[in-house]
Copies of this chain bind each other. A is one copy, B any other.
Amino acid sequence: MTEEQRFLREAIALARANIGNGGRPFGAVVVRNGEPIATGVNEILATNDPTAHAEMTAIRAASRKLASPDLSGCTVYASGQPCPMCMAAMRLAGVTRVVYAYSNEDGAPFGLSTAAIYEDLAKPFADQSMTIRHVPVQLGDEAHLYAEWSDAQSKQRQVHGARKPGCK
């Protein structure tokens, strides 16, 4: 069995165990240099947190374990095809590679496909199902928020030395 097959089977086993706990059928494993760092399952039903997809809980656990938001060099093994939120989260965290077993096509007959969400989010903002509205800020006498942050960063650097750039 390849490393890829082994970790995918582990992700699927986590998903299966989550069904046994009344949860949704999704599990994920974060791996770096061939070693599993953290795992996650879908915890929406247990926590009411709509963002608690398996990949997200695994990413959060990995970042706690590594004490860093930077998951460069990590592979995420997911039992099911990641949704756009998880895909973007992995991208933001610097995850290098994601491997999944069950596809959206596999999930569709069971209401477990996120293909429609991919399609919706691919549309221009004005055409998406969620209303997205930009209200440009009127600065008046106030400082530009980002200039203020940039100044604060410069002062910190002067005090503490250079810091590595973060993500948003």
Contacts and interface: CB of A to CB of B under 8 A. Distances in A.
A93 interface: yes
A167 to B, nearest CB: 6
A148 B60 contact: no
B88 A132 contact: no
Contacts of A19: 145, 148-149, 152
Contacts of A68: 48
A98 to B, nearest CB: 5
Interface residues of A, number: 88
A137 B85 CA distance: 23
Given A95-B130, A98-B130, A148-B19, A167 B50 contact: yes
Interface of A: 4-5, 8, 12, 15-16, 19-20, 22, 24-26, 42, 44-45, 48-51, 53, 56, 59-60, 63-64, 66-71, 79-81, 83-85, 87-103, 106-107, 109-112, 114, 117, 120-122, 128-137, 144-150, 152, 156, 165-168
14 contacts: A16-B145, A44-B167, A49-B60, A49-B63, A51-B51, A51-B93, A84-B121, A87-B121, A91-B120, A91-B121, A98-B132, A103-B134, A110-B150, A122-B122
